[in-house]
Structure 1
Protein backbone atom coordinates (compact mmCIF):
# COMPACT_ATOMS: atom_id res chain seq x y z
CA UNK A 1 0.00 0.00 0.00
CA UNK A 2 1.21 3.51 -0.81
CA UNK A 3 0.85 5.94 2.09
CA UNK A 4 1.40 9.70 1.95
CA UNK A 5 2.06 11.65 5.14
CA UNK A 6 2.06 15.44 4.85
CA UNK A 7 2.75 17.49 7.94
CA UNK A 8 3.11 20.96 9.35
CA UNK A 9 5.38 21.53 12.33
CA UNK A 10 6.54 24.46 14.43
CA UNK A 11 9.01 23.13 16.99
CA UNK A 12 9.54 19.70 15.45
CA UNK A 13 7.38 17.30 17.50
CA UNK A 14 4.98 16.72 14.61
CA UNK A 15 7.95 15.84 12.39
CA UNK A 16 9.16 13.38 15.05
CA UNK A 17 5.68 11.80 15.18
CA UNK A 18 5.60 11.53 11.38
CA UNK A 19 9.04 9.87 11.31
CA UNK A 20 7.83 7.37 13.90
CA UNK A 21 4.80 6.53 11.75
CA UNK A 22 6.93 6.33 8.60
CA UNK A 23 9.27 3.83 10.28
CA UNK A 24 6.30 1.74 11.51
CA UNK A 25 4.65 1.66 8.10
CA UNK A 26 7.87 0.84 6.25
CA UNK A 27 8.69 -1.83 8.81
CA UNK A 28 5.31 -3.40 8.01
CA UNK A 29 6.12 -3.44 4.28
CA UNK A 30 4.24 -0.34 3.13
CA UNK A 31 5.62 2.29 0.75
CA UNK A 32 5.62 5.69 2.46
CA UNK A 33 6.22 9.21 1.21
CA UNK A 34 6.45 12.00 3.76
CA UNK A 35 6.49 15.71 3.02
CA UNK A 36 6.60 18.94 5.00
CA UNK A 37 3.68 20.99 3.68
CA UNK A 38 5.79 24.15 4.01
CA UNK A 39 8.10 22.75 1.31
CA UNK A 40 5.22 22.06 -1.08
CA UNK A 41 4.03 18.72 -2.42
CA UNK A 42 6.11 17.16 -5.21
CA UNK A 43 3.43 14.56 -5.96
CA UNK A 44 -0.35 14.35 -6.17
CA UNK A 45 -2.54 12.94 -3.44
CA UNK A 46 -4.40 10.79 -5.95
CA UNK A 47 -1.20 8.73 -6.41
CA UNK A 48 -1.66 7.24 -2.92
CA UNK A 49 -3.99 4.68 -1.36
CA UNK A 50 -4.09 6.33 2.05
CA UNK A 51 -3.16 9.77 3.33
CA UNK A 52 -2.35 11.28 6.70
CA UNK A 53 -2.29 15.03 7.23
CA UNK A 54 -0.61 15.96 10.51
CA UNK A 55 -0.46 19.39 12.09
CA UNK A 56 0.00 20.92 15.50
CA UNK A 57 -2.29 23.37 17.25
CA UNK A 58 -0.81 26.71 18.28
CA UNK A 59 -3.13 29.38 19.69
CA UNK A 60 -6.14 27.49 18.35
CA UNK A 61 -4.90 27.18 14.76
CA UNK A 62 -3.05 24.65 12.63
CA UNK A 63 -0.13 25.52 10.36
CA UNK A 64 -1.33 27.53 7.36
CA UNK A 65 0.59 25.25 4.97
CA UNK A 66 -1.62 22.30 6.00
CA UNK A 67 -4.79 24.40 5.81
CA UNK A 68 -3.90 25.51 2.27
CA UNK A 69 -2.96 21.98 1.18
CA UNK A 70 -6.19 20.48 2.54
CA UNK A 71 -8.26 23.22 0.91
CA UNK A 72 -6.58 22.73 -2.47
CA UNK A 73 -6.90 18.93 -2.31
CA UNK A 74 -10.16 18.30 -0.46
CA UNK A 75 -11.66 16.28 -3.35
CA UNK A 76 -8.66 13.93 -3.52
CA UNK A 77 -8.61 13.61 0.27
CA UNK A 78 -12.32 12.80 0.36
CA UNK A 79 -11.93 10.14 -2.36
CA UNK A 80 -9.64 7.92 -0.26
CA UNK A 81 -8.97 6.91 3.30
CA UNK A 82 -7.46 10.09 4.69
CA UNK A 83 -7.07 10.96 8.34
CA UNK A 84 -6.03 14.04 10.24
CA UNK A 85 -3.53 13.90 13.11
CA UNK A 86 -4.10 16.82 15.44
CA UNK A 87 -1.04 17.28 17.64
CA UNK A 88 -1.45 19.36 20.78
CA UNK A 89 -0.65 19.57 24.45
CA UNK A 90 -4.39 19.43 25.11
CA UNK A 91 -4.53 15.89 23.71
CA UNK A 92 -2.79 14.79 26.93
CA UNK A 93 -5.51 16.38 29.06
CA UNK A 94 -8.58 14.71 30.55
CA UNK A 95 -10.31 18.07 31.02
CA UNK A 96 -13.65 18.00 29.18
CA UNK A 97 -13.66 21.73 28.38
CA UNK A 98 -10.13 21.62 27.00
CA UNK A 99 -10.98 18.59 24.86
CA UNK A 100 -14.07 20.41 23.56
CA UNK A 101 -11.83 23.31 22.57
CA UNK A 102 -9.70 20.85 20.61
CA UNK A 103 -12.79 19.57 18.78
CA UNK A 104 -13.66 23.17 17.93
CA UNK A 105 -10.19 23.61 16.38
CA UNK A 106 -10.81 20.56 14.19
CA UNK A 107 -14.27 21.83 13.21
CA UNK A 108 -12.76 25.19 12.26
CA UNK A 109 -10.12 23.37 10.19
CA UNK A 110 -12.82 21.37 8.38
CA UNK A 111 -14.80 24.55 7.72
CA UNK A 112 -11.73 26.43 6.41
CA UNK A 113 -10.63 23.58 4.13
CA UNK A 114 -13.89 22.02 2.99
CA UNK A 115 -12.49 18.62 4.00
CA UNK A 116 -13.98 16.48 6.72
CA UNK A 117 -11.44 13.77 7.59
CA UNK A 118 -12.51 10.11 7.75
CA UNK A 119 -10.98 10.10 11.22
CA UNK A 120 -9.24 12.56 13.52
CA UNK A 121 -6.54 11.18 15.80
CA UNK A 122 -5.59 13.47 18.67
CA UNK A 123 -1.94 13.02 19.61
CA UNK A 124 -0.22 14.67 22.56
CA UNK A 125 2.71 16.86 21.61
CA UNK A 126 5.60 18.17 23.66
CA UNK A 127 6.86 21.12 25.59
CA UNK A 128 9.89 22.27 23.58
CA UNK A 129 11.43 24.80 25.93
CA UNK A 130 14.75 24.58 24.09
CA UNK A 131 12.93 25.94 21.00
CA UNK A 132 10.93 28.76 22.60
CA UNK A 133 11.86 32.40 22.80
CA UNK A 134 11.70 34.08 26.20
CA UNK A 135 8.04 35.13 26.03
CA UNK A 136 6.72 31.88 24.59
CA UNK A 137 8.71 30.06 27.27
CA UNK A 138 6.92 32.08 29.97
CA UNK A 139 3.52 31.27 28.47
CA UNK A 140 4.34 27.58 28.11
CA UNK A 141 5.69 27.36 31.69
CA UNK A 142 2.41 28.91 32.84
CA UNK A 143 0.46 26.27 30.91
CA UNK A 144 2.59 23.50 32.39
CA UNK A 145 2.14 24.88 35.92
CA UNK A 146 -1.63 25.19 35.44
CA UNK A 147 -1.69 21.45 34.69
CA UNK A 148 0.69 20.53 37.52
CA UNK A 149 3.33 19.43 35.02
CA UNK A 150 6.86 19.78 36.33
CA UNK A 151 9.52 20.59 33.75
CA UNK A 152 13.19 21.04 34.60
CA UNK A 153 14.69 24.38 33.53
CA UNK A 154 16.12 24.18 30.02
CA UNK A 155 14.57 20.75 29.41
CA UNK A 156 11.96 19.56 26.94
CA UNK A 157 9.12 17.25 27.92
CA UNK A 158 7.38 14.85 25.54
CA UNK A 159 3.77 14.00 26.27
CA UNK A 160 3.34 11.84 23.15
CA UNK A 161 1.99 8.35 23.90
CA UNK A 162 4.14 6.30 21.51
CA UNK A 163 2.29 3.03 22.28
CA UNK A 164 -1.06 4.61 21.38
CA UNK A 165 0.51 6.01 18.22
CA UNK A 166 1.75 2.51 17.29
CA UNK A 167 -1.81 1.19 17.72
CA UNK A 168 -3.09 3.97 15.47
CA UNK A 169 -0.49 3.03 12.83
CA UNK A 170 -1.49 -0.64 12.93
CA UNK A 171 -5.19 0.19 12.61
CA UNK A 172 -4.65 2.75 9.86
CA UNK A 173 -2.50 0.69 7.53
CA UNK A 174 -3.37 -2.88 8.34
CA UNK A 175 -1.23 -5.62 6.80
CA UNK A 176 0.67 -4.97 3.55
CA UNK A 177 -1.52 -5.35 0.48
CA UNK A 178 -4.57 -4.33 2.49
Structure 2
Protein backbone atom coordinates (compact mmCIF):
# COMPACT_ATOMS: atom_id res chain seq x y z
CA UNK A 1 0.00 0.00 0.00
CA UNK A 2 0.96 3.65 -0.36
CA UNK A 3 2.44 6.14 2.08
CA UNK A 4 0.81 9.60 2.12
CA UNK A 5 1.88 12.89 3.62
CA UNK A 6 -1.16 14.98 4.51
CA UNK A 7 -0.36 18.61 5.31
CA UNK A 8 -2.90 21.22 6.31
CA UNK A 9 -3.27 24.86 7.24
CA UNK A 10 -6.28 25.30 9.48
CA UNK A 11 -7.49 28.36 11.35
CA UNK A 12 -10.47 27.29 13.45
CA UNK A 13 -9.97 23.56 12.97
CA UNK A 14 -12.34 22.57 10.14
CA UNK A 15 -9.54 21.99 7.62
CA UNK A 16 -7.80 19.80 10.19
CA UNK A 17 -11.06 17.93 10.76
CA UNK A 18 -11.44 17.30 7.01
CA UNK A 19 -7.78 16.27 6.69
CA UNK A 20 -8.19 13.87 9.58
CA UNK A 21 -11.29 12.32 7.95
CA UNK A 22 -9.37 11.84 4.70
CA UNK A 23 -6.51 10.23 6.61
CA UNK A 24 -8.92 7.85 8.37
CA UNK A 25 -10.45 6.83 5.03
CA UNK A 26 -7.04 6.18 3.47
CA UNK A 27 -5.88 4.24 6.52
CA UNK A 28 -9.04 2.11 6.33
CA UNK A 29 -7.94 1.22 2.79
CA UNK A 30 -4.58 0.03 4.16
CA UNK A 31 -2.47 3.10 3.45
CA UNK A 32 0.00 4.72 5.82
CA UNK A 33 -0.69 8.40 6.48
CA UNK A 34 1.36 11.06 8.24
CA UNK A 35 -0.56 14.19 9.26
CA UNK A 36 1.31 17.46 9.84
CA UNK A 37 0.44 21.14 9.87
CA UNK A 38 2.10 23.37 7.29
CA UNK A 39 3.69 25.62 9.97
CA UNK A 40 5.36 22.52 11.44
CA UNK A 41 6.32 21.15 8.03
CA UNK A 42 7.69 24.31 6.44
CA UNK A 43 11.18 24.02 7.91
CA UNK A 44 11.64 20.28 7.45
CA UNK A 45 9.72 19.41 4.29
CA UNK A 46 10.94 16.47 2.25
CA UNK A 47 9.00 14.18 -0.07
CA UNK A 48 11.40 11.31 0.57
CA UNK A 49 9.50 8.11 1.23
CA UNK A 50 6.03 9.37 0.26
CA UNK A 51 4.00 7.99 -2.62
CA UNK A 52 1.54 10.88 -2.54
CA UNK A 53 1.11 14.29 -0.93
CA UNK A 54 -2.19 15.90 0.02
CA UNK A 55 -2.44 19.52 1.14
CA UNK A 56 -5.49 21.27 2.54
CA UNK A 57 -5.86 24.97 3.30
CA UNK A 58 -8.63 27.28 4.39
CA UNK A 59 -9.73 30.66 3.12
CA UNK A 60 -10.10 33.67 5.41
CA UNK A 61 -11.36 37.01 4.11
CA UNK A 62 -11.06 35.85 0.54
CA UNK A 63 -7.51 34.45 0.65
CA UNK A 64 -5.53 31.35 1.44
CA UNK A 65 -2.85 32.22 4.00
CA UNK A 66 0.48 33.72 2.99
CA UNK A 67 2.24 30.90 4.88
CA UNK A 68 0.47 28.37 2.64
CA UNK A 69 1.48 30.24 -0.53
CA UNK A 70 5.07 30.60 0.70
CA UNK A 71 5.20 26.86 1.31
CA UNK A 72 3.89 26.16 -2.20
CA UNK A 73 6.31 28.66 -3.76
CA UNK A 74 9.26 27.13 -1.92
CA UNK A 75 8.38 23.48 -2.64
CA UNK A 76 6.39 23.36 -5.90
CA UNK A 77 9.11 21.40 -7.73
CA UNK A 78 9.12 18.70 -5.05
CA UNK A 79 5.31 18.65 -4.97
CA UNK A 80 5.24 18.17 -8.74
CA UNK A 81 7.55 15.16 -8.56
CA UNK A 82 4.97 12.85 -6.91
CA UNK A 83 1.21 12.44 -7.28
CA UNK A 84 -0.28 15.29 -5.28
CA UNK A 85 -3.63 16.73 -4.29
CA UNK A 86 -4.94 20.00 -2.96
CA UNK A 87 -8.24 20.83 -1.35
CA UNK A 88 -9.52 24.22 -0.30
CA UNK A 89 -11.97 24.90 2.51
CA UNK A 90 -14.22 27.95 2.43
CA UNK A 91 -17.73 29.04 3.31
CA UNK A 92 -18.57 29.95 -0.28
CA UNK A 93 -18.46 26.24 -1.14
CA UNK A 94 -21.65 25.79 0.91
CA UNK A 95 -23.52 26.87 -2.23
CA UNK A 96 -24.20 24.21 -4.87
CA UNK A 97 -22.96 26.42 -7.70
CA UNK A 98 -19.63 27.12 -5.97
CA UNK A 99 -18.59 23.72 -4.61
CA UNK A 100 -16.25 22.43 -7.33
CA UNK A 101 -12.70 23.52 -8.17
CA UNK A 102 -14.02 24.86 -11.49
CA UNK A 103 -16.86 26.93 -9.97
CA UNK A 104 -15.22 28.10 -6.75
CA UNK A 105 -13.59 31.52 -7.09
CA UNK A 106 -10.89 30.79 -4.50
CA UNK A 107 -9.85 27.58 -6.24
CA UNK A 108 -9.73 29.37 -9.59
CA UNK A 109 -7.54 32.11 -8.04
CA UNK A 110 -5.28 29.40 -6.61
CA UNK A 111 -4.92 27.79 -10.04
CA UNK A 112 -3.79 31.11 -11.53
CA UNK A 113 -1.55 32.20 -8.64
CA UNK A 114 0.14 28.89 -7.79
CA UNK A 115 3.16 27.43 -9.61
CA UNK A 116 2.02 24.00 -8.34
CA UNK A 117 -0.62 22.13 -10.34
CA UNK A 118 -1.85 19.20 -8.24
CA UNK A 119 -2.96 15.94 -9.82
CA UNK A 120 -6.28 16.05 -7.94
CA UNK A 121 -8.20 19.04 -6.55
CA UNK A 122 -11.23 19.41 -4.34
CA UNK A 123 -13.12 22.07 -2.45
CA UNK A 124 -15.27 21.72 0.64
CA UNK A 125 -17.52 23.99 2.61
CA UNK A 126 -16.11 24.75 6.02
CA UNK A 127 -17.82 25.80 9.21
CA UNK A 128 -19.01 29.12 10.54
CA UNK A 129 -17.65 28.92 14.07
CA UNK A 130 -18.73 32.12 15.77
CA UNK A 131 -17.69 30.73 19.17
CA UNK A 132 -14.03 30.72 18.07
CA UNK A 133 -13.93 34.15 16.39
CA UNK A 134 -12.58 37.29 18.03
CA UNK A 135 -15.17 40.06 18.35
CA UNK A 136 -13.86 41.85 15.24
CA UNK A 137 -13.85 38.70 13.10
CA UNK A 138 -17.30 37.80 14.40
CA UNK A 139 -18.67 41.19 13.30
CA UNK A 140 -17.08 41.00 9.84
CA UNK A 141 -18.13 37.40 9.24
CA UNK A 142 -21.69 38.18 10.38
CA UNK A 143 -21.78 41.00 7.81
CA UNK A 144 -20.46 38.68 5.08
CA UNK A 145 -22.98 36.01 6.07
CA UNK A 146 -25.81 38.55 5.98
CA UNK A 147 -24.79 39.65 2.47
CA UNK A 148 -24.55 36.03 1.25
CA UNK A 149 -27.68 34.80 3.04
CA UNK A 150 -25.79 32.66 5.54
CA UNK A 151 -26.22 32.20 9.29
CA UNK A 152 -25.82 35.38 11.34
CA UNK A 153 -26.67 34.21 14.88
CA UNK A 154 -23.39 34.66 16.81
CA UNK A 155 -24.59 32.12 19.37
CA UNK A 156 -24.79 29.33 16.82
CA UNK A 157 -21.92 27.50 15.11
CA UNK A 158 -22.83 25.88 11.78
CA UNK A 159 -20.88 23.15 9.99
CA UNK A 160 -21.45 23.09 6.22
CA UNK A 161 -18.99 20.33 5.27
CA UNK A 162 -20.45 17.64 3.00
CA UNK A 163 -18.86 14.56 4.53
CA UNK A 164 -19.99 12.32 1.65
CA UNK A 165 -18.04 14.59 -0.72
CA UNK A 166 -15.01 14.31 1.58
CA UNK A 167 -15.28 10.51 1.50
CA UNK A 168 -15.58 10.58 -2.29
CA UNK A 169 -12.42 12.72 -2.45
CA UNK A 170 -10.64 10.12 -0.33
CA UNK A 171 -11.46 7.63 -3.09
CA UNK A 172 -9.83 9.93 -5.63
CA UNK A 173 -6.74 10.14 -3.41
CA UNK A 174 -6.62 6.36 -3.21
CA UNK A 175 -6.71 6.16 -7.03
CA UNK A 176 -4.23 9.03 -7.44
CA UNK A 177 -1.26 6.94 -6.29
CA UNK A 178 -2.59 3.80 -8.01
**Aligning the two structures, in what range does the TM-score lie when normalised by the shorter sequence?**
0.7 to 0.9
**2:105 equivalent among 101, 108, 112:** 101
Q: Deviations over 1:104-153 (max 9, x none)?
A: 4313541xxx2122232111111010111112111212222233333544
1:145 matched to 2:146: yes
> In the alignment, is the contact (CA less than 8 A) between 1:83 and 1:118 conserved in 2?
yes
Q: What's the RMSD between the two structures over aligned residues?
A: 2.2
Q: Deviations over 1:55-94 (max 9, x none)?
A: 0111232123322222222112111111111111111224
Q: Deviations over 1:12-34 (max 9, x none)?
A: 11011111111111111100001
Q: SS state of the match for residue 46, structure 1?
A: coil
Q: Equivalents in 2 of 1:70, 1:49: separation in Å?
A: 18
**TM-score w.r.t. structure 2 length?**
0.86
Deviation at 1:100, TM superposition (A): 5.3
CA 1:12–1:104 in 2, change beyond 3 Å: closer, same or farther?
Answer: same
Q: Equivalents in 1 of 2:125, 2:95: separation in Å?
A: 9
Q: SS state of the match for residue 63, structure 2?
A: coil
Q: SS state of the match for residue 135, structure 1?
A: helix
Structure 2: runs of 5+ lacking an equivalent: none
Q: Equivalents in 1 of 2:45, 2:73: separation in Å?
A: 16
Q: Equivalents in 2 of 1:149, 1:7: separation in Å?
A: 26
Q: SS state of the match for residue 131, structure 2?
A: coil
Corresponding residue number in structure 1 for 2:118: 117
**1:53 equivalent among 52, 55, 75:** 55
**TM-score w.r.t. structure 1 length?**
0.86
Q: Equivalents in 2 of 1:100, 1:40: separation in Å?
A: 27
Q: SS state of the match for residue 141, structure 2?
A: helix
Deviation at 1:101, TM superposition (A): 2.7
Aligned residues: 172
